[in-house]
Amino acid sequence: MYEKYLEQLEEAGKIRNLKDRSISCYKSYVSYFLKYQNKNPKELTCQDVRVFLLAKKEEGLKATTLNLYNSAIRFFYRNVLHILWDDITVPRMILEHKLPTVLTASEIDRLLDAVD
């Protein structure tokens, strides 16, 4: 049902010199999105993407994965459907940065004592 659009996505990726792996990932993410929406792609809006990404977040997907979906769908909207992308409606997720584990002074002393 969406093969024509996925072929156009592949062509748009090749003309922009994207790597084959990137094109393959984009096609996979966009295909999943289109099947999820079950609408004519020409009728899709940025609000549809927002709802999709929020649903995926509720399912427990991490910000990195959601940003991959965002990038693929954004590329599809802009380069295949020629729909303006609204970064306010569909913002990128802020990645969580975990702080490194810091040893206490006594833990460092024990570590150094173990080496002696």
> How many Cβ atoms are within 10 Å of 71's Cβ, its own excluded?
15
Q: What dihedral angle (degrees, nearest 10) is formed by the CA atoms of 79, 77, 33, 49?
A: 160
CATH fold label, 3-115: DNA polymerase; domain 1 (1.10.150)
Q: Is 21 exposed, middle or buried (0-12, 13-18, 19+ CB in 10 A)?
A: exposed
Q: What tens-digit pLDDT sequence spans the chain (116 residues)?
A: 789 999 999 999 999 999 999 999 999 999 999 999 999 998 999 999 999 999 999 999 999 999 999 999 999 999 999 988 888 888 888 877 787 888 888 988 888 888 86
Beta carbons within 8 Å of 43's beta carbon, 6+ residues apart? none
Number of CB atoms found within 10 A of residue 19's CB: 9
